[in-house]
Structure 1
Amino acid sequence: MIATQIFGWWSSGNMEEAIILGLFEALMIMICFVAAQFLGRQNTHPEV
């Protein structure tokens, strides 16, 4: 999904916008993933 958006923007000539939005989207996914891992660890180990 992200790759198709980046290629769409790239083909339209907005290379900088494609890179920025692609990196931003990847960053948001990583933050959500880390948060989910952290919350999951808290829920499975409430004593920590």
Structure 2
Amino acid sequence: MREENNISVVIITQESEKPGKIPYVCKRYDIECINILEFFTKEGWKF
């Protein structure tokens, strides 16, 4: 998770990790990028 001015940044996307896609760019800039299922798990949501 990257912190900018005490703000935690996490990107949520369903894109693949191919060049030019959001997860690929996040990795290059050390920004956490997760998909929606990972977000639900991280937040403790259950369905």
What is the TM-score normalised by the length of structure 2?
0.31
The structure number with the bigger radius of gyration is 1
Query: Which has the larger strand fraction?
Result: 2
